[in-house]
Every structure is written in structure tokens, then in C-alpha cells.
Chain A
Amino acid sequence: MKRDLAIMSLLWLALTVAGEYLATQVDIYPAVMSDKGEEITDAFRLLVVMAVPVFTMVIAVLVVSFIFHRARGEPQEDGPPIQGRGPFPVAWFAVTAALTLTVMIYPGLTSLAKVLDDPAPDLVVKVDGLQWTWSLTYPDLNVTGVRELVLPVDRTVRFEITSRDVLHSFWIPAFLMKIDAVPGRTTVVTLKPTETGSYQEDSTLRLQCAELCGLSHSRMSVPVRVVTQAEFDSWVQENARAPQPTGTPAGPVVEFALVAYNLLFDVTEMNVPAGSTVKLTVDNQDKGVSHNWALYESEEAAKSGEAPIVGTPLEVGPIKQELTFEAPDPGAYFFRCDAHPATMKGTLTVE
């Protein structure tokens, strides 16, 4: 018994040393790009360090028993009748309770307070989840309808999140922060990006839906880009919505009526003469499903997150949307519904 205890203790010690070395020296974590994310990673690492001795203790008992206490064939005698009465279970209970209390308070409750911290933001972004994309609005900057989440580095951002249809979940893996988008509620995440980068370089820089939301749940993701303040300012300037054009249309007026039904547009090819004014009606007949109509330079441009040339907002059907715009320069353009790019798309040709 004493010999076995000694072997077990030595093995426990050796495994613990090895485990703690791995836990502290080997970087199992992805790059963290937000202040909250660093807090979360610190808590994670601390929990790993605390878990190692518990894990190795059980492993040591199992290994020593498996190697030294196995019977050859059917055991001919019984083991020692240790009943487990007396002080040992009491001590075990006390130690596990103390460990639990520790973990509960630190890192549990202490880091919880830091992660929930909601300071005054430098920037507010409104995020609407809808099947199956994210609608992004920068209300103070007059930027809306962008297909990419662009954020300035080292500025505190508050995301005000809600959903227009079913549950979604706002998750940017690089920031390690997540909260559900709930219809009828606004949930909030406040954080500060700490490094620049883009989705093209690191796929964890994406705004991903993390709550199963139906058919295209796994495709419900938009790229995230963290840039310097100067780059951000010029991006805002490019994308700030110009005031609505007024006055009489210059050229001839071409009218189109599109029906969006059953996740399809009824018209997939549109031809307009150069210099004309296009009056478009989008009749979304899909009850409870959001559609829009957005025009891009090309399909690649749309996929890479470029802003549309022109478009309607995503709105839940049934609804009729109207849009009037000047036909762009001659050439072939790509249009789609931003929520259903796989099925709802087509070509607009300016002749």
C-alpha cells in the first residue's frame, strides 16, 4: 500500500509538471484581437492550470491500478476490504468544495464583472440578424447597407443587436465575444478591437451566426476588417449614404416589377438603355422572410464584401419596396438578394 501510494504520488507529480509545462508553454489558443477576448483567454488559461492537477491525479490512480493491481486471470482472492468510512471522504468533500469555491470566485465571478463591463462607446453599430445575413448600420455616421463590418482599432465599439425573424447569435471568433440576436429584444456587446486585420488574412475575423437559424445558417457570415482610424474615416466617407436625389429624371424612365417568392426572383435578366432612370418595384411575397435587391459591379465584388452601387434594405415580407436610380455606365452588372445570394441573383445589362 505504501509502495503503491509512493508510485502514484510520483506519477501524479511528474504528470502534473509535464501538464503544467504544456498548459503554459504551448500556445493552443488562436490570436485574440479584442480587450474582452484577452480577459476571456486569461480566464481560460487559468482554468487549464487549475484543472491539470485534478486531471493528473485521476490518471495516476487509474494507471497505477491498471498496471500494478491487475489480476492474472480470474482473481483467486478478494482485495483489501477498505470501506471508505472515516475521515477520508470528509477530507475529499472539503477539498473539492474548496476547489469549487475558488474556481467560482476566481476566475469565475471576478472576470465576469470585467467581461460585462459596458463603458461609453466611441462608436455604435446596430446589427440586425435575419435569415441568413447580418444587416449593419452605423447610425451616427449615416452608413448603412454595407456588406462588411469595418471597425477602427483601439476604439470602444458597442454593438446593439437584434433579430428580425428567428434567433441568431452574434459571434466574432477573433474577439471571443458572443450574444444571441433575439426578436423583440436588443442585446449588447461592448468591446475594443486591439489589432488590425481582415477576414482575408484570418478567417476568425468574421461575424458569424452561432445559433442554428434554419436553412443557410452556416453561410450567415460577413467579413470583419479592423483598420486604423484614418482608414476607417475614409471608408466612412465612401460609404456614407448620399442624400436622396431629387428633381426630375434626366433620361427615359424604365420600370421593372420584380417578385421575390419562394426564395427566387421571377426576373433574372434586366436590360436598360444607358442614361435612363430605373424605377424598380420589389414585391417580397415570402411571409416572414427578409429579401432585398442590391446591384453590384460583379458577383465577385458582391462576394468580397464591396458595398452595392445601389440597393434596398433587407425587410421582412410580405412587403413592396420601391427604388429609383440612374442607370450606371454601360456594361453588365450583378444583382442579388443579400440574404439569399445562392438562389436569388441575376444580371442587369446597361446598353
Chain B
Amino acid sequence: MTHAAERPDHNGGSLLGGTYWLLRGAVWGITGFGVGAGLTAIARAAAGEDAWWLPMNFTLGYVVGLIGWLLGVGMWERWGREWFGLRTTEEGSEDWRRYLTFTTDHKVIGVQYLVTFLLLFLFAGLLAMVIRLQLLEPQDPVLSDGTYNRVMSLHGIIMIAVAVASVVGGFGNYFVPILIGARDVAFPRMNALSFWLVPPVAVLLLASQAAGGWDSGWTAYPPLSVRNAAGQVFFNLAIITFGLSSILGGLNFLVTIFLMRAPGMTWGRLPIFVWSMFATSWLALTFTQFFAAAMLMITLDRIAGTSFFVAEEGGKPLLYQHIFWFYSHPAVYIFVLPGFGITLEVLAHFARKPLFAYRWAVGGFLGIVAISGIVWAHHMFVSGMDNKLLAPFLVTTEIISVPTGLVFLSALGTIWMGRLWLKTPMLFAMGVVFNFLIGGITGIFLADVPTDINLSDTYFVVAHFHYTIIGGEIFALFAAIYYWFPKITGRMYNERLGQLHFWTMLIAFNVTFIPMFWAGLHGMNRRIAIYPEDLQAINVFISSAGFVLGASFLFFVANMAYSLVRGPRAAADPWRARTLEWRVTSPPPVENFPAPPVVTGHPYDYGVPGAAAHGVLAIAGASVEADGWRPAGPAPEESKR
């Protein structure tokens, strides 16, 4: 690490000491905000306007404040001082306080992402409980219309953020470098920047409630989002910030996977989770900017008097939907591709079989990436767009089920005739196959324009996307948490609590969401605070099951809390898996490998007679350059696969 020099003891040993960098970031951020908002006020007053107008002063204040926060939380130490030739400081401490600092260690950043988004997941889950509480009563519910709309919108966007970043930011950061035999990502400081852009996003979304929140859902369709409460501006800024984080992360993963693979880690030997992260990163890098651009246009419509989307002034409300879905459909594959990757990874290790049709599964991932960019308008079948567009998007949308089918081929072929070791991670992975099956099949009804005309914007859609996102990604997230818990923490989780969590979650999830298909068919539209009284029985049923689903996470929280402290020490390789992360201690050492790894075989050759090990740790200096573990010289020959 070139920027390491000396270590000032800012931290001390106290709790307050551990939060030094957070506090400094907050102070610098608030100061920056004051400067930005103040200068805007002066400029407005000079122009003869009211000095304070929340949307504009806040927006410009936020831009400066964000820079202040990033510098204060540690960017100044990591970048600024070095650039200006000042004495730089070393990374923070080795204990828990490193999780609260601007560190460049990919494993620490992975944990930072994971813990942050698990907390956000639990919070937005509580909001879901509030939603279900509301819908117990058809005409006389607990929340006012306005509060309900805000709660529903907040639930939506936080869960979207969790879906974007929990697996990618958490497990992607922690395990992609280890799985490819690298000691970190390609751009460690940019990696830290990606994470530290996230706290302002959470703060904005929560603070927006003080400015009236926003009631346009996570989709923020104009003209509503151009004329609703000022909280909408907070939302827009949050999305732009989060998008930047996502783009930087995607770029970082791509470069890491291209350039940092250990000797012998050919494309044909890449663990399937890494392949899924590769595919996802292309989507994040290519499409995220469209969401940010759409949000910028809405912000400008509100504060600068542009009229991109204001019909009376010549704008086009439909234009927004095209730009928005041009990102937001690929985004669902950002959610679910890493979920597929984890699922296939876990299935192979716990079925004790080679990953079935590995190359076809990779083809499926890349096929999804290719087609995902040309299906967006299937979200707009009833938007009033030209009828000529309906048939082409029906066709492209149906086509995407073919590459998705290849993922199922790989999953089912791997399970088939295996020696299924039904530990908690395996149960969750099989749960993904079951849930995503329902999510995928119900998707056909929404890809088909005639049936979608009726089902669009109903609870059928709500059920469908919860099946794909919870069923496809969140179940995989939990598979990954249980699978890698021993590696990350060095302790084993409690198997009994884990299985209890799985079964209650699986059953309650299905009992909650299956009836929503029925409710949608029977006239329950989505995003409503009240509904016709004859739909009360089904909604009470859904809510009751939903509360059980919410309660199932108590098993998870209890398991994590208990096992972190009291769990038995984990061995280096408790699952007897072949991939590289299990070749090192639990938790892995700083910079991952005591000696450079060399990859000599396929990661999933379970039961293959005479198969070489996937990877071995080389004796330092042999056949590998001493510094930088890039492939040096010809790679060991790869078995044809």
C-alpha cells in the first residue's frame, strides 16, 4: 500500500474514538451543506428572489455537503494529502473500529455493505409490516392516505437499494477477490468511495420525511414527481448519489475480474458467482446512468424551470418512463443475477457434484445481459405509448425466458442425483429454485400484452416482483450469509436456528404472496391505502401470513447475534468445498493469501476421477512475480470443459 506512512492515534480505545471519522465526516458535511446552501441564498437574494427556497438551496447545499462528508470521512487522508504531497496516514486500527473508517480493505468494505444493508432491510421490512397493518382495514385504516403513500414509497426504494447493493456490495466485495485469487480489488480506494457514498443516501431518504416525504413510489413518475412535496428532491438526490456508487462499483468489479485473476484462473475456471458478478457489473456500469439522468431531469424541472416532463409546457411525461425503465428493467437482473450465481455456487458444493452445464449457465447470464437492454417497455404496455411498440416488446420479453431457462437447466441438473447435504445454505438455494420458478412463470402473464393490460398495476404484479426479488435474490442472500458466515466471522452459525429460519420464511413467504396473485385478479390495484370491502378477507389473510414472515427474521437475528459471540470456532473449510476462499483461514488474513494461489483445476470437479485441485497456494516466488499476482507467463494448462 503506497499511501501507508504513519498512524496517528485519532481513535483512542473508546466508543467515541471509534466514531471519530464518522463524526468528522458529519461535521465537514454539515459545514459543506451550510456553505452551499448559504451561497445559493446569497445568489438568490442578489437576483431579487426569496433567499430561501427549499428545493434549490437544499440541492446545491447537498452537492457541497456530499463532498465535505466524503473528504471528512477519510477521502482527504486517502487522496487529498497524498496528491498535495503532505504526510499521509496509514489505515486505521485492526479491531472493530476499522468497520467505521474509510478503509481500502475489500473484506472490511464487504462487511460494511452487508451490515448496512441488512439493517436497512430489517427497517424496510418493518415498513412492510406497517403496510400490512394498514390493509387489515379496507375503508377505515390506521394511517392517513398521505402517510400511507409515504410509507409505501419509502419501503419500495429502500428495498430496491437493498436489492441492488446487499449481495453485490457485500458478498461481491468480500469474495470476488478471494475467489479469483487476488489480494484486493483493482481500485481499493474507489471501492471505499463507493461504500461511503451510501450513508448520505440513507440519511436523505429518512430526512426527506421531514420535508413532507414523497408519495410517488420508488418509480417517481412525473408529472406527479415534479409537483409533489419537496421531499421528492431528497429522493432524487439520493438516487443520483446511489447511482454513482453503483457505477463505480460495477467498473471496479469488471477491472478486477479482467486483470486480477490468479495464474491459471482462466475464464473457463471462474467460479459461477464471479461470472454472475461479471454479468451484473456490466449492467450496473452501462445502465445506472439512465436512472440518474432521469432524476436529474426531474430535479431540473422542479428547481430550474426546465420542462422535460411537464405537458403544459411542451414536455413529455412518457419520455421519463422510457428513460427510467431503460435502467430499471436491467436493474432487476442486477438484483437477481448475483442471486443466481450464489444459488448455483451453493448447489454444486452441497450436491457434491460438478456444476451441471457450467458453460451454458454462463451463456445464460450473458444472454440475459444482452437482452435485458431491449425489454424495458414491457413496463409500459398500458402507458399509452404507441400501439406499434407493443408487439416488439412482447417478443423480446418472452425471449429472455430462454437464457433464464439455461440457469434452471444448470440448477436442476446439479441437484439431480446429487448427495444433497441439506444444511441451511443448501435449503435456501433450493428455495430460490422453487420461488423463482413461480416468479418466472407468472412473468409470462405480464410479458403477454393482453393479460398484462388487466394485471398491470395490480397485486398480481406486486406478487410477481416479490417472488423474483425476495424469492430469487433475498433467499440467495441468506444462502450466502449462512454459507460464508464461518469464513467471514471465523465461527459457525447455529444450524437448528438456521433451519427454523428457512422453513418459517419459506412457508410464510409463499402463504403471503400466493394469495396476492388472486387479489390482483379480483380487482385489487396496487399502492392503495383503502380498497373495496369485499377484498377484506383475502387481505386479512395476507397480512396475517405477512406478520409471520416478518417474525421469521427474529430467528435470523438471534442466530447472528448468538453465533457471532458464542458460535463454535469454524475450521478453514467446514463445507469441504473446492473454491479458493476455503484454502485460507477463517477469517482470511489481510490481503487474503499467505502465499500466491495458483489455479490448476475446475472449481466444481466433485467426484471427477483424477481431477486436479481447483487451486493451491504456491510457495512464494515460484512461477509468480513477488509483487502483484497478475498472471505471469503461461497459465497452467486447463482441462477442456
Interface residues of A (CB under 8 A from B): 1, 4, 28-30, 37, 39-40, 43-44, 47, 51, 54-55, 58-59, 61-62, 65-66, 69-71, 74-75, 77-85, 88-89, 92-93, 96-97, 100, 103-104, 107-109, 111-112, 114-116, 165-167, 169, 171, 173-174, 176-185, 187, 203-204, 206, 208, 210-219, 288
In the complex, the answer to whether A93 meets B394 with C-beta atoms within 8 Å is: no
Task: Please tell me which stretch of B240-248, B454-462, B485-493 contacts chain A, meaning at least 4 of its Cβ atoms lie within 8 angstroms of it.
Answer: B454-462
Task: Please tell me which stretch of B75-83, B260-268, B355-363 contacts chain A, meaning at least 4 of its Cβ atoms lie within 8 angstroms of it.
Answer: B355-363
Decide yes or no: A43 and B450 within 8 Å by CB, A82-B417, A100-B402, A217-B149 being known contacts.
yes
In the complex, the answer to whether A58 meets B433 with C-beta atoms within 8 Å is: yes
Could you tell me the distance between the alpha carbons of A69 and B215 in the complex, rounded to whole angstroms?
50
Q: Which 4 A-B pairs have the closest CB atoms?
A: A78-B607, A184-B311, A84-B357, A218-B528
In the complex, the answer to whether A39 meets B383 with C-beta atoms within 8 Å is: no
Decide yes or no: A81 and B608 within 8 Å by CB, A65-B416, A103-B398, A115-B450 being known contacts.
yes
Write out the residue numbers on chain A whose beta carbons fall within 8 Å of the beta carbon of B353: 78-82
Can you list 29 A-B contacts with CB-CB less than 8 angstroms, sorted by A residue number?
A1-B417, A28-B521, A40-B453, A44-B454, A47-B451, A61-B416, A71-B419, A74-B576, A77-B352, A78-B606, A81-B605, A84-B355, A100-B398, A108-B394, A111-B448, A115-B453, A167-B222, A171-B457, A177-B454, A178-B457, A179-B382, A182-B311, A184-B311, A212-B221, A216-B145, A217-B527, A217-B528, A218-B145, A288-B227
Per a CB cutoff under 8 Å, which of A40, A59, A108, A180 touches B398?
A108
Could you tell me the distance between the alpha carbons of A59 and B530 in the complex, rounded to whole angstroms?
37
B399 within 8 A of A: yes
Could you tell me the distance between the alpha carbons of A70 and B216 in the complex, rounded to whole angstroms?
48
Write out the residue numbers on chain B whose beta carbons fall within 8 Å of the beta carbon of A215: 145-146, 149, 215
Write out the residue numbers on chain A whose beta carbons fall within 8 Å of the beta carbon of B318: 182, 185
Write out the residue numbers on chain B whose beta carbons fall within 8 Å of the beta carbon of A108: 394-395, 398, 447-450
Dominant secondary structure of chain A at its interface with chain B: mixed
For the A-B complex, the count of residue pairs with Cβ-Cβ distances under 8 Å equals 280
Per a CB cutoff under 8 Å, which of B312, B383, B391, B420 touches A183?
B312
In the complex, the answer to whether A4 meets B417 with C-beta atoms within 8 Å is: yes
Could you tell me the distance between the alpha carbons of A58 and B441 in the complex, rounded to whole angstroms?
11
Could you tell me the distance between the alpha carbons of A247 and B154 in the complex, rounded to whole angstroms?
58
Could you tell me the distance between the alpha carbons of A212 and B526 in the complex, rounded to whole angstroms?
8
Decide yes or no: A183 and B354 within 8 Å by CB, A112-B394, A218-B530 being known contacts.
no
Per a CB cutoff under 8 Å, which of A40, A178, A211 touches B221?
A211
B553 within 8 A of A: no
- B-side interface residues, number (CB < 8 Å): 94
What residue of chain B has the Cβ atom nearest to residue A203's Cβ? Answer: B532
B401 within 8 A of A: yes
Per a CB cutoff under 8 Å, which of A77, A81, A85, A187 touches B357?
A85
Could you tell me the distance between the alpha carbons of A206 and B402 in the complex, rounded to whole angstroms?
39
Per a CB cutoff under 8 Å, which of A55, A71, A93, A217 touches B441?
A55
In the complex, the answer to whether B451 meets A92 with C-beta atoms within 8 Å is: no
In the complex, the answer to whether B413 meets A82 with C-beta atoms within 8 Å is: yes
What residue of chain B has the Cβ atom nearest to residue A165's Cβ? Answer: B223
Write out the residue numbers on chain A whose beta carbons fall within 8 Å of the beta carbon of B454: 37, 40, 44, 173, 176-178
Write out the residue numbers on chain A whose beta carbons fall within 8 Å of the beta carbon of B360: 84, 89, 93
Q: Within the complex, what minimum Cβ distance (angstroms) separates A2 from chain B?
A: 11
Most chain B beta carbons < 10 A, residue from A88, A103, A114, A211: A211
Task: Please tell me which stretch of B91-99, B111-119, B335-343, B404-412 contacts chain A, meaning at least 4 of its Cβ atoms lie within 8 angstroms of it.
Answer: B404-412
What residue of chain B has the Cβ atom nearest to residue A45's Cβ? Answer: B451
Write out the residue numbers on chain B whose beta carbons fall within 8 Å of the beta carbon of A177: 453-454
Write out the residue numbers on chain B whose beta carbons fall within 8 Å of the beta carbon of A176: 453-454
Interface residues of B (CB under 8 A from A): 145-146, 149, 215-217, 219, 221-224, 227-228, 311-312, 316-318, 351-358, 360, 382-384, 387, 390-391, 394-395, 398-399, 401-402, 405-406, 408-410, 412-413, 415-422, 430, 433-434, 437-438, 441, 444-445, 447-451, 453-454, 456-458, 518, 521-523, 525-535, 576, 605-609, 641
In the complex, the answer to whether B402 meets A96 with C-beta atoms within 8 Å is: yes
In the complex, the answer to whether A55 meets B437 with C-beta atoms within 8 Å is: yes
Could you tell me the distance between the alpha carbons of A39 and B526 in the complex, rounded to whole angstroms?
23
Write out the residue numbers on chain B whose beta carbons fall within 8 Å of the beta carbon of A115: 449-450, 453
What residue of chain B has the Cβ atom nearest to residue A202's Cβ? Answer: B534
In the complex, the answer to whether A204 meets B522 with C-beta atoms within 8 Å is: yes
Write out the residue numbers on chain A whose beta carbons fall within 8 Å of the beta carbon of B535: 203
Decide yes or no: A210 and B458 within 8 Å by CB, A69-B419, A82-B417, A100-B398 being known contacts.
yes
Decide yes or no: A66 and B420 within 8 Å by CB, A96-B402, A176-B453, A180-B384 being known contacts.
yes
Could you tell me the distance between the alpha carbons of A215 and B227 in the complex, rounded to whole angstroms?
12
In the complex, the answer to whether B523 meets A70 with C-beta atoms within 8 Å is: no
Could you tell me the distance between the alpha carbons of A204 and B523 in the complex, rounded to whole angstroms?
6
Could you tell me the distance between the alpha carbons of A43 and B445 in the complex, rounded to whole angstroms?
9
In the complex, the answer to whether A112 meets B450 with C-beta atoms within 8 Å is: yes
Write out the residue numbers on chain A whose beta carbons fall within 8 Å of the beta carbon of B219: 212
In the complex, the answer to whether A69 meets B417 with C-beta atoms within 8 Å is: yes
In the complex, the answer to whether A104 meets B409 with C-beta atoms within 8 Å is: no
Per a CB cutoff under 8 Å, which of B355, B412, B441, B453 touches A178?
B453
In the complex, the answer to whether A58 meets B451 with C-beta atoms within 8 Å is: no
In the complex, the answer to whether A203 meets B317 with C-beta atoms within 8 Å is: no
Per a CB cutoff under 8 Å, which of A96, A104, A171 touches B405?
A96
Q: Within the complex, what minimum Cβ distance (angstroms) separates A238 from chain B?
A: 27
Could you tell me the distance between the alpha carbons of A137 and B303 in the complex, rounded to whole angstroms?
36
In the complex, the answer to whether B145 meets A61 with C-beta atoms within 8 Å is: no
Q: Within the complex, what minimum Cβ distance (angstroms) separates B574 from chain A?
A: 10
Decide yes or no: A81 and B382 within 8 Å by CB, A62-B430, A178-B454 being known contacts.
no
Write out the residue numbers on chain A whose beta carbons fall within 8 Å of the beta carbon of B448: 43, 47, 103, 107-108, 111
Contacts A215-B149, A216-B145 known; list 12 others, CB within 8 Å: A30-B522, A43-B448, A84-B360, A100-B402, A103-B448, A108-B395, A108-B450, A178-B382, A179-B382, A181-B384, A183-B311, A206-B532
What residue of chain A has the Cβ atom nearest to residue B456's Cβ? Answer: A178
Q: Within the complex, what minimum Cβ distance (angstroms) separates B2 from chain A?
A: 44
Write out the residue numbers on chain A whose beta carbons fall within 8 Å of the beta carbon of B312: 183-184
Write out the residue numbers on chain A whose beta carbons fall within 8 Å of the beta carbon of B421: 71, 74-75
Q: Within the complex, what minimum Cβ distance (angstroms) separates B260 from chain A?
A: 28
Could you tell me the distance between the alpha carbons of A109 and B409 in the complex, rounded to whole angstroms?
27
Could you tell me the distance between the alpha carbons of A108 and B393 in the complex, rounded to whole angstroms?
11
In the complex, the answer to whether B420 meets A69 with C-beta atoms within 8 Å is: yes
In the complex, the answer to whether A107 meets B450 with C-beta atoms within 8 Å is: yes
Could you tell me the distance between the alpha carbons of A214 and B149 in the complex, rounded to whole angstroms?
8
Per a CB cutoff under 8 Å, which of B221, B438, B450 touches A167?
B221
Write out the residue numbers on chain B whose beta carbons fall within 8 Å of the beta carbon of A28: 518, 521
What residue of chain A has the Cβ atom nearest to residue B517's Cβ? Answer: A28
Write out the residue numbers on chain B whose beta carbons fall within 8 Å of the beta carbon of A71: 352, 419-422
Could you tell me the distance between the alpha carbons of A80 and B490 in the complex, rounded to whole angstroms?
32
Could you tell me the distance between the alpha carbons of A4 and B416 in the complex, rounded to whole angstroms?
9
